[in-house]
Amino acid sequence: EATLDLAERRRIRSAIRELQRQELERDEETLASKRFRPERSSHRQDDKENWPQSCRVEEEQQEALTALSEQLKAITSVEELTKLLRAAGEYEERKLIRAAIRKLRAQEIE
């Protein structure tokens, strides 16, 4: 309805702006929750036929990383680790090698 009272119009406009702001915040929260969803669960739902195969691949990768970790414990030279780091292709492998290098350097400092 139309009102002639300016103070009431201001209150109505501020209430409308507040409702719009709350709606925008809800929309942003919804978008953020959709944007940062873990990909693996959605991938598994999308690709149910290949899921057992992907589990095997993940297990094999985990076993390879475990073997690499054991191999890194035996290496005592930063130069050898650096060569391995340059040759490594996977992120997780490089991550393990960098950790081993940091550990050796810390031992050298002590």
Per-residue pLDDT tens digits for 9-59: 899 999 999 999 999 988 888 887 776 555 555 555 556 666 667 677 788
> Per-domain residue ranges for the chain?
6-35+60-109
Residue carrying the six token digits 């149910």: 48
Q: What is the pTM of this model?
A: 0.47
Q: What is the CA radius of gyration of the chain?
A: 28
Find out whether 97 and 91 touch, Cβ atoms under 8 Å.
Answer: no
Find out whether 72 and 96 touch, Cβ atoms under 8 Å.
Answer: yes
Average pLDDT of the chain is: 81
Looking at residue 19, what is its pLDDT?
A: 94
